[in-house]
Amino acid sequence: MTRFANSPLRHWLRFEAEEAENGYLYSITPDEAHIGNPLIKALHGGVVSTFLELAALHELRCTLGSDADGEAININVDYLKSVRLSPLFARARIAKTGRRLVFIDCIAWQDNDGSPVAKAACSIALLR
Amino acid sequence: MSGRQHQMSLKNKGGAPPWADVMKSYFSEGHQLFAALQMEPSKIDKDGVSVFATIPDFFSYKDGDGSAHPGAYTIILDTVFGFSVFAKIQQPKAIATINLKTDYLRPIEIGSKVICSAECHAVNGNIARTRGDIFDYDGRPLASATGAFMIASGGPDFARLAKGRPT
């Protein structure tokens, strides 16, 4: 349903979007290719940012319809904990939809959703 | 992927400082992500760091469109920001990104070559602040960002990395 459903980026990240009762659950399954710090085998901050932005774009299309397309203006990511080499999950929440702009907040976790590892705020310009 | 070995020798002709080994080890030990982005440093000193990079094809995210996902910018910026902190404190300490704010100024195509310039402009206690930009080879700004990093108080980790794996 999305234009990036089978994109190379999605394959590289092993990005999945699963419809659950309370909205979409996004995930990536990182491996050695996504490491930022080889000593502690932590996921690269830019990989986390890319994942959360993909989740935000997916959320936008699921909420506004598959015709909706947007381009991120900026993204602000807070890294709450180092992210280990195990599946990373996220949820995205649309904070505000306007005629031209959409603001989306994302939160990511690994072991349980009560222990977030990163959060992001993404501003997206709608392309119509 | 060729020519990875010589990259960090530049600018360190007159006796490399110890922290330079850290970055050397990063680039020459086959760091998969940095290799994929073909990151090549061109300048590394206290005043700033510049690194060349190429947007890899796996950043393609739209059908029938050669545009790259701008997340590629965040990977380059986060990396170069980290190097700018090492270059500023001139010590091989462990660092972690606290936050990264990136403005996307211009979309980019897969395979494009870019240059990222960054500086660590302030260190307060164990918090380092960075700012930087990505430009294309025509000098057009593509992205700009600011970051905050935590500098670990202990952190012999990176020194061990450089020592434990001779390049």
For A45-79, the pLDDT digits (tens) are 999 999 999 999 999 999 988 778 899 999 999 99
Which residues of A fall within a CB distance of 8 Å from B107? Answer: 71
Structural domain including A25 reads: 8-127
Q: Looking at domain B17-164, which CATH architecture does it have?
A: Roll (3.10)
A110 has pLDDT over 80: yes
pLDDT at residue A115, as a whole number = 96
- A26-40, A85-99, B80-94, B145-159: which has the minimum mean pLDDT? B145-159
Q: Is A23 inside any structural domain?
A: yes
Between chain A and chain B, the number of residue pairs with CB atoms below 8 A apart is 120
* Residues B79-97, mean pLDDT to the nearest whole number: 88
- Closest Cβ–Cβ partner in A9, A49, A73 for B58: A9
Q: Is A3 inside any structural domain?
A: no
Nearest to A90 by CA among A49, A124, A127, A126: A49
Residue that wins the pLDDT comparison between B98 and B43: B98
- A23-37, B7-21, B149-163: which has the minimum mean pLDDT? B7-21
Cβ separation of A45 and B78 shorter than 8 Å?
A: yes
Please spell the DSSP secondary structure of A2-70, one letter per residue. -TTTT-HHHHHHT-EEEEETTEEEEEE---GGGEEETTTTEEPHHHHHHHHHHHHHHHHHHHH-TT-EE
B26 has pLDDT over 70: no
pLDDT at residue A69, as a whole number = 85
Q: Is A25 inside any structural domain?
A: yes
**A2 falls in which pLDDT band (50, 70, 90)?**
very low
**A100 falls in which pLDDT band (50, 70, 90)?**
very high
CA–CA dist A10, A20 (Å, integer): 20
pLDDT at residue B5, as a whole number = 39
Longest dimension (CA), chain B: 50
| Percent of chain B residues past pLDDT 90, beyond the cut | 54
To probe the interface with A, which of B55, B97, B108 has the most A CB atoms within 10 Å?
B97
Q: Is A103 inside any structural domain?
A: yes
**A87 falls in which pLDDT band (50, 70, 90)?**
very high
**B7 falls in which pLDDT band (50, 70, 90)?**
very low
With beta carbons less than 8 A apart as the criterion, state whether B119 and B132 touch: yes
**Which tens digit of pLDDT belongs to each residue from B105-126?**
999 999 999 999 999 999 999 9
In three-state secondary structure terms, B27 is helix
**A2 residue type, one letter:** T
pLDDT at residue B8, as a whole number = 41
Question: Which CATH number belongs to the domain containing residue A121 in this structure?
Answer: 3.10.129.10
Cβ separation of B61 and A8 shorter than 8 Å?
A: yes
* Residues B1-19, mean pLDDT to the nearest whole number: 45
| Mean pLDDT score of chain B | 82
- A52-66, B6-20, B140-154: which has the minimum mean pLDDT? B6-20
Q: Is A1 inside any structural domain?
A: no
Q: Is A94 inside any structural domain?
A: yes
Secondary structure in 3-state letters for B97-165: EEEEEEEECCCCECCCEEEEEEEEEEEECCEEEEEEEEEECCCCEEEEEEEEEEECCCCCHHHHHHHHC
Q: How many domains does chain A have?
A: 1
Q: List Cα–Cα distances, A88 to A118, B114, B130, in angstroms.
A: 10, 29, 27
Q: Is A73 inside any structural domain?
A: yes
CA–CA dist B44, B24 (Å, integer): 11
How many residues in chain B? 167
B→A contacts (Cβ < 8 Å), by residue, are 26, 29, 31-33, 36, 57-63, 69-79, 94, 96-104, 107, 157-158, 160-161
A13 has pLDDT over 50: yes
CA–CA dist B116, B129 (Å, integer): 16
